[in-house]
Structure formats: structure tokens, C-alpha cells
Amino acid sequence: MPLDLSMFEGHAVNRSAAERRASTLSARRSVKKVYQAAWLVNAVRMIDLTTLSGDDTEGKVQRLCAKARQPIAPYIMDGLGLSDMDLTVGAVCVYPTMVPHAVKALKGTSIPVASVATGFPAGLIPLNLRLEEIKYAVGEGAGEIDIVINREMALKQEWNQLYDEIAAMREACGEAHLKAILATGELETLRNVYAASMVAMQAGADFIKTSTGKEGVNATLPVSLTMVRALRDYGDATGYQIGFKPAGGIKAAKEAIAWQVLMKEEMGREWLEPHLFRFGASSMLGDIERQLEHHVTGRYASSSRHAMS
């Protein structure tokens, strides 16, 4: 199916309105304190627990996968009355050459392995190599592929070319899910963010994702609101449900609540499930565990920089 430009051409996004709306998503106003622990546990189910560093090793990936299998210490789960719950994160996200290590370490679980691909994070290698990288990661066992879009095409508003590239990536993924990283911090305008979201969804993305975590500006609430409105408009027009993944710089438990409030208010409860929402985060789980520990014991065993009050 060719790209339908009418789904986004001429669509204006008012930045200050998006910023105003995002600033009212304060966790304290929308989530009663007594329910915060439940929202934090739900956030854990939706984390793509990530390591994307130059010094990644098999051992580091094994430790990450152990945490993915048991994200919250058993005594905290007991204290929450959740000792029977088989809580895991949503996925583990790694570089392509780390996929076999993650697949091995997650054997026997239903936790998917997500791999970045297509020349992450800049994507500035020829398309045939980007497609080969997808096929390599899928061949090694990745069930989810996080691709990066070509920012030059988005900045020049070459939407048909961008659509063709993402459609080719979709095909290279085969059965694997495709998450399209827009790198919104590099797209200059919210109008470009909205258009790129629409192009990615029309080209077959299962999820749209804000950032690689490597841009100067990564996930923000106003940009997320723009993307979520795009996926809502796309759903209204086509009937398809597309997932959303904010990623990059999300570290604090209270941020996990703010993003869930955004999804609940804009999309409804259904978008608070791992098949339609993920947090891409390398360090947020640690703060969530500290806050849950505090909820159970009334104290922090280790110092927390991100108290929820």
C-alpha cells in the first residue's frame, strides 16, 4: 500500500499546548499514594531492560538477564503480598552481537530479546547493510528489532523515501516485531515528529519509540504526547493498535508513573500492557526497586536520588 500523505500533511502541532498538557500529568494529582506501588509493579512488566554500551560483555548481559527474570527482590515481593506473582520485565534490549548471550540466559522464560539494529544509533550506513543487520539479529533469536529512522529524510520531509526504507526493514524483520526509533531530539519540530510517527506506522511499525538514549535530548513528555496522539489518530483511521516506547534518560520511578498516566488518559487502560507499551531504560528499575523497598520497609537500604514525595 502506498504512503497516504493526507494522514499527516498540514497537521500542525502546538508546542506550548503540548507542553502545558504534559505538565499537568503530575503523578501526585493523578495517582493516589496508596496505589503507587501497584503502578510501579506494573511499570516493571513493561520495561525493556537495556544495555547498549561499548563495554557490553557476555557476563554483563547474563547479569542483566538475571535481573530481568527476577526484577524485584523476593522479600520486597513478599512484603507487597505478591510472592505468587511471576513478575518479569517486558524484554531485554541489547546490541546484535549480544543477542545470543541474552537468548541463552533467558532460556526457559517467555521474556523476548530485543535487538537494536540498522546502524544504531545514527543509522548512517547503507540500507543493504542495515537490512543485513536486522536479518542477523533475527537469525540469532531476537524477537523484537529496534530500528532507527533516517533523520536526514525526516528533516528534508522526504516521506515517501522514509516510508520505503522502513517498509523494507519491516520485511527484513519477518516474524519479529519492529519498533521504529524516531530520535525525536534530532527532528527539530513536533510537526516532523507527528509526520515521522505516521510514516513509521503506515510502513508497518508495531511500536514507535522516542529515542535511542544517545541523542542530546531523549524522551520527554510533550514529544511523547505528540507521538501518542499520532498513534491514536492512526488507530482511529485504520483500526490498528500500535505500541509506544519512550526511551532514553528515564531513570526515576516517578517518571514511570507520569508516563503511565499519559497512556491511561490518552489511550485507556489497554495501553498499560507490555504488548502496547514499553519503557526503554537501563537504570530505572533500580529506582523502582528502591521505592518499593521503601513502601514495604519504610526505609531505603541504599541511598535514593529520586524520592517519590
C-beta closer to ligand G3H: residue 13 or 262: 262
Window of 189-197, 220-228, 248-256, 291-299 that interacts with ligand G3H by CB under 6 A = 248-256
Whether 270 and 235 have beta carbons less than 8 Å apart is answered as no
Quickly list H helices, the chain: 15-23, 27-30, 36-45, 58-69, 74-79, 99-105, 127-139, 151-155, 159-173, 190-202, 221-238, 253-267, 284-297
Q: How far is the CB of 130 from ligand G3H (least distance, A)?
A: 17
Q: Toward ligand G3H, which CB reaches closer, 179 or 294?
A: 179
Q: Binding string to ligand G3H for residues 249 to 268, with x set by CB under 6 A, is what?
A: xx------------------
Among 153, 223, 281, 296, binds ligand G3H (CB under 6 A): 281
φ, ψ (nearest 5 deg) of residue 27:
-60, -40
Residue 245 catalytic?
Answer: yes
Amino acid (one-letter) located at 191: R
Dist. CA 83–CA 236, nearest whole Å: 40
Reference 257, options 5, 102, 37; nearest CA is 37
Residue 283 binds ligand G3H (CB under 6 A)? yes
Tell me whether residue 36 or residue 212 sits nearer to ligand G3H (CB atom). 212
> Considering beta carbons, is residue 138 or 281 the nearer one to ligand G3H?
281
* Integer Cα distance of 213 and 66 in angstroms: 23
179 is catalytic: no
Q: Is 50 in the site for ligand G3H (CB under 6 A)?
A: yes
List the catalytic residues.
Answer: 146, 209, 245
- Which residues form the interface with ligand G3H (CB under 6 A)? 50, 52, 93, 212-213, 247-250, 280-283
